[in-house]
Amino acid sequence: MNRSRGQQRTQFVCQECGHESARWMGFCPSPACGSPLPLQELDVRPPPAGSRTWLPSAAEPPTELSTLEPEDRQRLLLPSAELNRVLGGGIVAGSVALLAGEPGVGKSTLLLQLARYLSEGGRPVTYLSGEESPHQIKLRSERLGFSGDRVFLETETDVDQALARLEESRPAFAIVDSIQTLYTQDAPSGPGSVAQVRECGLKLMRWAKLRNVPVFLAGHMTKDGSLAGPRVLEHMVDLVMYLEGQEVSSYRVLRSGKNRFGSTTEIGVFEMTGQGLVEVPDPSRALLAQRYERGVGAALAPTLEGSRPLILEIQALTSPAFAPVPRRVANGVDYNRLLMLAAVASRRSGLELGGQDIIVNVAGGFRVTEPAADLAIILALASSLYNRPLDPHLVAIGEVGLSGELRTVPQVERRVSEAARLGLHRCILPETARDRLGKLPDIEPIFARTVRQAVRAALGSPNRPDPEINGNDGDFEPDDLVFE
C-alpha cells in the first residue's frame, strides 16, 4: 500500500524550480531545470495541534459554478498609467503580487512609490521591511519628496507576529520587502530557504484572501534571472512582475510574468532619476532622441510589447576574431537566437560572419522578446561588417527562417504606424506581408522575400565593400553572389 501523504514526514524540493520528490535524489531530476543546487529537505508534517497557524481554515461548502454571479473585481486604480497597464487595470482587492528583480534595480523604490500613491489617496499602508531600518526608508521617501503620512513601517521579520500586527491595524495595502527576510517558526531552516519562503508566502496569501487586502512582496532575483529561493512562490501568487534594467542604463522595464487578472504581455517603462522612478510615456521617442544617426551597425526594429509598439535600436559590432572560436555577446537579445541569425546570415545571405567576434546590444538596456526584430539584427550585423551606415529613416520588420526567408509577423500595420509617427519613412517588410497590408501611412515599403534581398536593399551590393573594413580589404565577400 502506498504511504499516504498524511504519514509522510519529509519531501525533497528543488531550490530553483520547486520540483518535489518523495525520495532523496541528489539533484533536481526535472530535465527542464537542471539546477546545480542539491535538493533541500522539507518537513511536510501537518503542524501540531496548538501551533501558531492562527488563521481558521475556511470551512465553506463548495460553490456551484452556475450559482455565482459574475463579479467585477474591485480594482484600485493608481495615478500611474505605466503601473496600471502592467497590473491589468489597477490593483485587485486581495491579490498577492511578487515584484522580482536583481538587487539595486529599484524594487524598494517602486514599492515605496506604490505606498505613496495609495496613502495619498487616503488609504493606510503597512510597509514591512526586513532589510532596511525605518530611517533608511525615511531617506528614500525624502528623495521621492513624499512625507509618509498614513504609511506605517514595521521591521518585524517573524511572519506570524507581522500578521498579528496586520490583523490589528488592518491597512488597505501591505508591502513586504523582502519575502526572503521573513521567517516562521513553523518551518525548519533559516530565512530565505525553500521551506521558509514557501511557508511565509502561504501565510501571507491566506491573510490577503481572508481580509481582501492586496499584498505586494519584493523578491530577490539572482544575476542569472532565477528567483533566489524557490520557484514555488511564483506558482502561488496571483501576479509576478519583473523589474528589469541594466546597470549602465537608467531605464527600467516592468514586465508581467504571470497575471491572474490581466494580460502578461504588457510592460511599463520608467527611468530611474534622482526623484525615484519616473514614467516614460513615449519610450520610442525617448530612445530615438539619443540615437547617433550616422552610426555604423545600428538598425531600428519596431517591436510590440503587449498593446504598445516600441521602436528599438539594435546595435551590432563585428571585428575579426583572434581566438579560434569567435566570441558572441548578446545584450538584450536571446543568445541562441543570435547564434541562429548569425548562421543564417553567413549561409544564406553571404555575410562572412564565421571569423568575426560579434557583439549585439539593444540600446537603452531594453530587451527584444519577439522574432520580429530578427531582420533588424541581421541588418545591424551587415552594416557593421560592410562598415556602412543604414539609412537613419529605415526600419526593418521580419522574422527570419532557417532558409533565409523572411516571414511576416503579427500586427505589421501597428508597427509601421509607430515608425511613421516618429518621422521614419522607409520600411523593409517581408513579401508575404504585402497582401495583408491596408493603406500604409506615410512610409515607403520595401518588400523582400529573403534576408539576402533585404540586406541588398538596405546596404547595396557587397561587391563594393569599403576597403577599410576592419582591415579586411573586403575578403569577406561571398563567392556565391547570385541575387534573386
Residues that bind Mg ion (CB under 5 A): 108
Q: Which grid cell is 28?
A: 533536481
Query: What's the min distance (Å) between Cβ of 286 and ligand TYD?
Result: 17
140 binds ligand TYD (CB under 6 A): yes
- Choose among ligand TYD, Mg ion, none what residue 105 binds, the Cβ cut-off being 5 to 8 Å by kind: ligand TYD
**CA distance linking residue 362 with residue 244, whole number of Å:** 14
101 binds ligand TYD (CB under 6 A): yes
The residues near 159 (Cβ < 8 Å, ≥ 6 apart) are 182, 183, 184, 199, 200, 203, 204
Q: Which stretch binds ligand TYD (CB under 6 A): 100-108, 155-163, 228-236, 436-444?
A: 100-108
Nearer to ligand TYD, 257 or 460 (CB): 257
Nearer to ligand TYD, 112 or 118 (CB): 112
**CA distance linking residue 218 with residue 237, whole number of Å:** 12
Q: Number of residues in contact with ligand TYD, rule: CB under 6 A?
A: 14
The residues near 484 (Cβ < 8 Å, ≥ 6 apart) are 449, 450, 452, 453
**CA distance linking residue 449 with residue 209, whole number of Å:** 54
**CA distance linking residue 128 with residue 200, whole number of Å:** 13
Nearer to Mg ion, 16 or 177 (CB): 177
138 binds ligand TYD (CB under 6 A): no
Nearer to Mg ion, 108 or 157 (CB): 108
Nearer to ligand TYD, 216 or 386 (CB): 216
Q: Compute and round to an integer the Cα radius of gyration of the chain.
A: 26
In degrees, to the nearest 5, what angle opens at C-alpha 326 toward C-alphas 320 and 328? 105
Contact of 205 with 212, CB cutoff 8 Å? no
Classify 216 as helix, strand or coil. Answer: strand
- Choose among Mg ion, ligand TYD, none what residue 140 binds, the Cβ cut-off being 5 to 8 Å by kind: ligand TYD
258 binds ligand TYD (CB under 6 A): no
280 binds ligand TYD (CB under 6 A): no
- Choose among Mg ion, ligand TYD, none what residue 90 binds, the Cβ cut-off being 5 to 8 Å by kind: none
Nearer to ligand TYD, 116 or 452 (CB): 116
Per residue in 435-455, is it b (16+ CB within 10 Å) or e — as a string?
eeeeebeebeeebbebbbbbb
Within residues 259-278, the interface with ligand TYD by CB under 6 A covers: 272, 274-276
**One of 107, 211, 426, 456 touching ligand TYD (CB under 6 A):** 107
Place of cell 547595396: 460
Nearer to ligand TYD, 109 or 157 (CB): 109
Query: What's the min distance (Å) between Cβ of 126 and ligand TYD?
Result: 18
The residues near 239 (Cβ < 8 Å, ≥ 6 apart) are 87, 95, 96, 97, 98, 256, 258, 259, 260, 261
**CA distance linking residue 251 with residue 163, whole number of Å:** 35
Query: What's the min distance (Å) between Cβ of 275 and ligand TYD?
Result: 5
217 binds ligand TYD (CB under 6 A): no
Cβ-closest residue to Mg ion?
108
**CA distance linking residue 89 with residue 87, whole number of Å:** 6
106 binds ligand TYD (CB under 6 A): yes
**CA distance linking residue 482 with residue 182, whole number of Å:** 65
**One of 45, 143, 235, 434 touching ligand TYD (CB under 6 A):** 143
Return the DSSP state at 197.
Answer: H
Listed residue (5, 7, 27, 25) closest to 16, CA to CA: 27
Amino acid symbol at 88: G
Within residues 39-98, the interface with ligand TYD by CB under 6 A covers: none
104 binds ligand TYD (CB under 6 A): yes
Query: What's the min distance (Å) between Cβ of 107 and Mg ion?
Result: 5
Nearer to ligand TYD, 276 or 302 (CB): 276
- Choose among ligand TYD, Mg ion, none what residue 143 binds, the Cβ cut-off being 5 to 8 Å by kind: ligand TYD
Does an H or E element contain 84, and which? Answer: helix 81-87
- Choose among ligand TYD, Mg ion, none what residue 103 binds, the Cβ cut-off being 5 to 8 Å by kind: ligand TYD
Nearer to Mg ion, 177 or 238 (CB): 177
Nearer to ligand TYD, 79 or 104 (CB): 104
Q: Where do contacts with ligand TYD occur on this chain (CB under 6 A)?
A: 101, 103-109, 140, 143, 272, 274-276
